[in-house]
Every structure is written in C-alpha cells, then in structure tokens.
Amino acid sequence: MRNIFHQKIISLPIITKIKKGFIMVETIVAVSIILMVVPAVLGMATKGITLGTSAKSQMIASYLASEGIEFIRNKRDSNLLRYQNGVSGAKWDDGFTPGGASPMCKNNPCTINPLAAPSNIIQRCSGSLATPSPCYRLYLDSFGFYSHDTGGQATQFYRGVSVIDAPGNSNEHLVTSTVVWSTAFSQKSLTVTDYITNWTQ
C-alpha cells in the first residue's frame, strides 16, 4: 500500500506538466489563428469602405452630369418660349450656340451654375476639363447644392458641358456633359450625351 501511494504522489507533477504543455500549445495555435484572421477581416472591411465611397462618388457624378444636360434643355425651352412670344431676335440656341464667330460651348466646355442669375447660368471656361481647370470645379453650399460659386466648400468634382452642331442639321445639337473627379489611385470621369432640337421646326 505504501509503495502504490508513493507512486501516485510521484506521478502528479508529471501530469500537471503535461497539462501546462497542452495549454501553451493551444494558446499558440489560437494566437496564430487570430493573427491570420484579423488582417483578412480588416482588409475586407477596408475594401468594402473603398468600394462604398467609389460607388457614392459615381452616383453623385451621374446626377451632376445629367443636371448639366437638363440645364441646357431648360435654356432651349426658355429660348423657344421667348421666340413664340414674339421677342425680337430670339433664337432657340441663344446662350449655348455652337455656331457663329464666337461659339459658346464648342471649343471649350461651358460651366453650368444653377445658383447663378438666369443670364449667368451658362458661362465660358477657358481651361481644359481633362486637367481639369479650376473654373470647372464644383462647390457645395450650406444647403447641399452643387455650384461653381467659390464661397462654398470645394469638392472633388469638376463639370463641363459642350454643345456642337449635329451633322447636317442646324436645328439639332449634340450636348455632352462630363464630370471629372479624383480618387486616391486615379482620375475618373463620367459622360452623359443627348441631342436637343428646335421643336418649333
């Protein structure tokens, strides 16, 4: 009996050491798994944020480009109403005519400033949109409207609208509205085109 009891006492420290060894191995394995999983999760989260930001910018650019087309169309309608009301010398493409000695939005895209006075909504911009020139930059005012008024907060977006004659038809113009913006990796652009016509002819 004494020998058996003595053997059990001697074997207890050995079992404790084995258990400690298993706990250490388990800890190392768990830490290793965490070190492999956490960077992957963080990478996916970062990529998701980047894609979300990119999609948001793409959506805003789409709206801004479409707005440029709509303002040219609205100007066309206003011109035709003036013509139908008998205003002397009124032309359907006043303010954005691509013809004549001084074409408005043909050689360089125009800026469309929705917050300006009606006579100043469409303005010339002498620079290039590809660079882009500062005169094309859009600013965000305190009410959330985009315009070319420099008193607002500068944004990453630049917009220009060009108007050219449709081939063989003086009563039809091709309107191109382009928005350019920069990301951390490259410059992006989005273009919307549409034809406008003199619907009185």
Sign of CA dihedral 104, 196, 155, 184: negative
State residue 105's pLDDT score: 85
Question: Do 190 and 179 contact (CB within 8 A), yes or no?
Answer: yes
Predicted structure pTM score: 0.72
Which pLDDT score, from 0 to 100, does residue 3 have? Answer: 52
How far is 163 from 25, CA to CA, in rounded Å? 72
Digit-by-digit pLDDT tens for the chain (201 residues) are 455 444 444 444 555 555 555 576 677 776 777 767 666 666 565 555 555 567 889 999 999 999 999 999 998 998 899 888 888 888 888 888 876 666 778 878 899 988 888 778 888 888 888 888 999 999 999 999 999 999 899 999 999 999 998 888 888 999 999 999 988 778 999 999 999 999 877
Answer whether 190's CB lies under 8 Å from 61's CB: yes
Q: Are 193 and 175 within 8 A, CB to CB?
A: yes
Q: Which two tokens stand for residue 108?
A: 């360089």
pLDDT at 201 (0 to 100):
73
The domain spans of the chain are 2-197
CA atoms within 13 Å, Cβ hemisphere of 30: 6
Q: Which two tokens stand for residue 116?
A: 């300006």
Contacts of 120 (CB under 8 A, 6+ apart): 113
Residue 166 three-state SS: strand
